[in-house]
Amino acid sequence: MSARWRVVPGGLAWGERRFVWGERTYVMGILNVTPDSFSDGGLYLDPERALEHALAMEEAGADIIDVGAESTRPGAVPVPAEEEVRRLLPVLRRLAPRLRVPISVDTYKAEVARVALAEGAAMINDVGGLQKDPAMAAVAAEAGVPVVVMHCRPHGHVHYDDFWGDVLGFLRRSLELAEAAGLPPEYVIVDPGFGFGKTAEHNLDLLRGLHRLRVLGRPVLLGTSRKSTLGRVLNLPVSERLEGTAATVALAIPHGVDIVRVHDVAPIVRVVRMADAIVRHPHWEAPAGVPSRVPQPSGLGTAAGPAAPDTIQLRGLRFRARHGVLPEEHRREQVFVVDLDLGLSVREAARADDLSLTVDYSEVFRRVERIITGPHRQLIETLADSVARDLLAAFPLEFVRVRVAKPEAPLPGAFDQVAVEVWRSRGDL
């Protein structure tokens, strides 16, 4: 890998390329170097043709290229690791020097992932959720790369006593395995496993309930592209499922999906950009000469208070850390007190009495703690802004107010405390 991953406020960076969750939806382009994948098997076995396709997907707007050398479709014959590596190596050796976006290796075998990472792959997409190969979590941790953990069951095992309980329980176990291996939580992305060990009805329920994944506090990847559930609903062959794929992508974005994995990059990039313009509130401006009404920041900071329908308040979160401008503040820990207002509707959560429909306070605390007790910052302004952006990226909030107080600030006179308060809305990302 020429570039290295690092944690940044609200997400990850690979070299100069940033993945800030909640800022926009990222597109992962699929490159199968297999003879038997359900949609494009055999098309890109030739390494030069694979390179050409990868470059075309990058040009069309793909943020990640996901390369797989073993089909995971129902009925596919498992491939030995040696064969998987044989298919991958000539492709990776052509892609790595040419692509400007990170390469993901789609495998559940630690041995294959290790080789792929050494040849230029920059992340792992594990359909086994770190649970098929017990060595996979250690491979990701040692390499310092992100890993996508997917919920899966053997094909045909579609009886669930508690569907969402099974999905969330499996993914929690994957997160535990990553943590035990020493992989930072920021490096784990969850995938609910559309089409893996699920009926068409399960898959549709999964799309309706994607908001339930919020309880995990991790970015979400969704892979619906051209899959059989779309064919069953539309009664169409795999070659005619673009519109069905686009519908699932557009409807998933309001539920907070961060990455979509697709075959048809160019049209889906357009779908994503339009959906993001509606849902994620970027700073969009009309072309010159077109009248437009500039949106106001939802009443934030006005006497009337926030315009969001409900507010969750966390008060007096206390941490000890070393932040400040003076040399003594680099050496001596001080108390930092954080107050939060989180703006989102809690009506649905209150009605269903369901934690997955609101925010997990423990996860909020952990996120704030990681920033406040993290790397040294000179300004509490920086701390407050970093906390606000991280929470907006992690949760479906309309706005967040963050107040960071420093009761022991080294001022030359009597005072109660020094504090900075920032308001941030989703449009500020």
pLDDT digits (tens, 9 = 90+) for 71-122: 776 666 778 999 999 999 999 999 999 999 999 999 999 999 999 999 999 9
| pLDDT reported for residue 74 | 63
Q: Which of 109, 226, 261, 280 is catalytic?
A: 261
Largest CA distance in the chain: 76
Mean pLDDT of the chain: 87
| pLDDT reported for residue 281 | 58
Question: Is there a catalytic annotation at residue 331?
Answer: no
pLDDT (average), residues 168-178: 96
Identity of the highest mean pLDDT range in 195-199, 278-282, 289-293: 195-199
Annotation: CATH topology of 311-428: GTP Cyclohydrolase I, domain 2 (3.30.1130)
Question: Which has the higher per-residue pLDDT, 62 or 407?
Answer: 62
| pLDDT reported for residue 51 | 93
Question: Is there a catalytic annotation at residue 227?
Answer: yes
pLDDT digits (tens, 9 = 90+) for 226-246: 999 999 999 999 999 999 999
pLDDT digits (tens, 9 = 90+) for 212-227: 998 898 999 999 999 9
pLDDT digits (tens, 9 = 90+) for 303-315: 333 344 588 999 9
pLDDT over 90 for what percent of the chain?
A: 62
Domain ranges for the chain: 5-279, 311-428
- What is the SS3 string spanning the chain? CCCCEEEECCEEEECCEEEEECCECEEEEEEECCCCCCCCCCCCCCHHHHHHHHHHHHHHCCCEEEEECCCCCCCCCCCCHHHHHHHHHHHHHHHHHHCCCCEEEECCCHHHHHHHHHCCCCEEEECCCCCCCCCHHHHHHHHCCCEEEECCCCCCCCCCCCHHHHHHHHHHHHHHHHHHCCCCHHHEEEECCCCCCCCHHHHHHHHHCHHHHHHHCCCEEECCCCCHHHHHHHCCCHHHCHHHHHHHHHHHHHHCCCEEEECCHHHHHHHHHHHHHHHCCCCCCCCCCCCCCCCCCCCCCCCCCCCCCCEEEEEEEEEEECCCCCHHHHHCCEEEEEEEEEECCCHHHHHHCCHHHCCCHHHHHHHHHHHHCCCCCCCHHHHHHHHHHHHHHHCCCCEEEEEEEECCCCCCCCCCCEEEEEEEEHHHC
| pLDDT reported for residue 345 | 85
The pLDDT confidence band at residue 396, using thresholds 50, 70 and 90, is: confident
| pLDDT reported for residue 39 | 55
pTM of the predicted protein model: 0.68
The pLDDT confidence band at residue 289, using thresholds 50, 70 and 90, is: very low
**Assigned CATH for 5-279:** 3.20.20.20
The pLDDT confidence band at residue 292, using thresholds 50, 70 and 90, is: very low
Q: How far is CA 369 from the centre of its chain?
A: 20
Question: Which has the higher per-residue pLDDT, 426 or 260?
Answer: 260
Q: Which of 114, 227, 241, 377 is catalytic?
A: 227
pLDDT for residue 294 is more than 50: no
| pLDDT reported for residue 367 | 92
| pLDDT reported for residue 37 | 55
pLDDT (average), residues 56-70: 94
